[in-house]
Structure 1
Amino acid sequence: MFRTSDIVLIAVMVSAAAFTYKTKHDAETQLDAARKIEQQIRFEEDSIDLLKADWSLLTQPARLQKLSELYQSQLQLQPVEGRQIVSLDDLPARPVDIPDFSTQRLGGMADSGTDKTVTGAVTQ
């Protein structure tokens, strides 16, 4: 009735169908994961846009001026005077302290003086 070749072909067809189903299922799983990541990216971009809008509202000069006047007694803020603004050249230079490492032992290969590593280079 059934020959051996028929049974082998049926087994191959069933395994091919199972492999195709598994591959399709894995691809759909990966696609769902990619969609979730894209959704998270969109959410983060929207959050960033919202935070930028909040920042621009909070740093409006008129609002800051009102707040500084309201809390003048507590903050004791004063306007910046022209003499307080200087260029970079007017600032004093910071002294540079460079430690002397020439007298210290470095350890390792530097103490032995030669490198015994064989690299396969052609020597003459």
Structure 2
Amino acid sequence: MFRTTDIVLIAVMVGAAAFTYKTKDEAENQLKAVDKIQAQIRFEEDTIDLLKADWSLLTQPSRLQKLAQVYETELKLLPVDARQIVSLQDLPVRPLTIEDITSERFGGVAEIAPDQTTTGGIAQ
């Protein structure tokens, strides 16, 4: 009733169906993983936006001025005086010292004997 070719073709069809199911299942699992990563990225972006908003709120000049006035005795902050701001020419010049590194020995190997290691370079 069944010939050998019929049995082989049925086996090929069952194998192809199993392969298709396995491929589909793996693709769905990868899609779930991608969706999870995208959700994590959205969460992190929202967290960054929230932190930026908090930072801008905390660094408002009016808030900082009020805090400086409240904690003036503890911090001992003083307003900047116009005489504190100087130009570059008013700063003292530091002496420039350059060390002579040509006379120093770096390990002393080359002064004792030339390196006899054979490489792919030009032989002497």
TM-score normalised to the size of structure 1?
0.77
Equivalent residue for 1:116?
119
Amino acid at match of 2:119: K
Amino acid at match of 1:117: G
Equivalent residue for 1:38?
38
Distance 1:15 1:36 in 2: 32
Identity of aligned residues (%): 58
Equivalent residue for 1:29?
29
Equivalent residue for 1:85?
85
Amino acid at match of 1:112: D
Equivalent residue for 1:122?
none
Distance 1:51 1:33 in 2: 27
State the Cα RMSD in Å: 2.6
TM-score normalised to the size of structure 2?
0.77
Is it true that 1:69 corresponds to 2:69 in the alignment?
yes
Q: Deviations over 1:51-90 (max 9, x none)?
A: 1111111011111111111111111111122233344553
Distance 1:81 1:74 in 2: 20
Q: Deviations over 1:18-58 (max 9, x none)?
A: 00011111111111111111111111111111111111110
Amino acid at match of 2:67: L
CA change 1:116–1:105 in 2 (3 A) is same
CA change 1:14–1:49 in 2 (3 A) is same
- SS across alignment from 1:112: coil
Structure 1 runs of 4+ aligned residues shifted over 6 Å read none
Distance 2:82 2:120 in 1: 65
**CA deviation after TM superposition for structure 1 residue 11, in Å:** 0.6
| Residue segments in structure 1 that go unaligned for 5+ positions in a row | 119-124
CA change 1:34–1:75 in 2 (3 A) is same
Give the number of aligned pairs: 115
